Amino acid sequence: MDESVEAFRSQARAWLAAHVPSEPLPSLETAEGFAAHRAWEAELHEGRWSVVNWPERYGGRGVDLPHWLAFEEEYWAAGAPGRVSQNGVSLLAPTLFDHGTEEQRARLLPSMAGGRTVWAQAWSEPEAGSDLASLRSRAVRTDGGWLLHGQKAWSSRAAFADRAFGVFRSDPAADRPHRGLTYLMFGLREPGVTVRPVARLDGKPAFAELFLDGVFVPDEDVIGAPGDGWRIAMSATGNERGLMLRSPGRFLASAGRLVRLWREAGCDPAVRDRVADAVVGARAYQLFTELAAGGGAMGAESSLTKVFWSEYDIALHETALELLGAVAEFADTDWAEGYTFALAGPVYAGTNEIQRDIIAERLLGLPKGRR
């Protein structure tokens, strides 16, 4: 047992016990809930718990992966709110650390850590989702920057967020589809941006379409070199599919909630094995990620974790809804909202079919097949 990790865990547990709201916040997929979750991000930041693995100069604590995993376990075990800043903290920030400039990090990361700027992900397009190289939205060179034109779809958090990041085609004459792409950041309230919320099955605007008509982006908001967007995007996808999006602590807490629900429902023997599978699955995911990460970022192994957690999440929520009864799927509860969100898991962050191709080719060394 690492004494440093356990001391850190105890410190986090004590802070969370004193600060986690006694009542659940409204859904972050609503305007009211979004504002409440933004305030929670500010409170987390005040305690220096919003970005524990970041360097201290940006508001973090500079801890390593074992400490971050311990914090995540305590965070979700405490019943703390979902993270409305997740797109920024877990996806954009690692990209800025790896490919951004020091000026960008100093300018953007503190407001992200404090919840003052909430980011949306703007990658997918009507005909470019998992096949990101086929995207058609353009970035056209102009004095001092770029003009964005096109449409982005299924942009998570965009209905209420402040800014977005995405990849755009800056060189239509490039010899291959994945070349000539540039990674840019832009404001969602800038002239030329139209945000159209897209309601989920439960009616909440979890996503939005973005229509871009000559949106100006200064050169300072280009990540990496123009034309290098594909390489940077592929670097970012590892974070999206791996630990940062769905930490083991999140599933350990959900499995614990499921066990309590099963007991409250009378210990129905018909679903006992599925409840046990949920607990075993969470523990197996915890062990695998700790071994695979090994103190650093995962590579192609992130495809393994993505397939696992996306299918595990659905099974866990289906078991909970069965325990709650037929009407639970339509009720406004954490389990119902979690189930609705889990259904999208095999699709977003790269479909599971694509992930299985990556596993076959890069981890198992099998020949390329259906693509």
Which positions are annotated as active-site residues? 240
3-state helix, strand and coil shares in percent for the chain, rounded to the nearest 5:
50, 15, 35
Tell me whether residue 89 is exposed, middle or buried, using C-beta atoms within 10 angstroms of its C-beta: 0 to 12, 13 to 18, 19 or more.
buried
Alpha helical stretches, state H, the chain: 3-19, 31-46, 65-77, 86, 93-99, 102-113, 229-241, 248-264, 272-293, 301-324, 334-342, 352-358
Which letter, b or e, does each residue of 148-173 get, where b requires 16 or more Cβ atoms within 10 Å of its Cβ?
bbbbbbbbbbbbbbbbbbbbbbbeee
> Which string of DSSP letters, residue by residue, matches 184-199?
EEEETTSTTEEEEEE-
Considering only CA atoms, which of 152, 159, 165 is closest in space to residue 27? 159
CB atoms within 10 A of CB 192: 14
CB atoms within 10 A of CB 370: 6
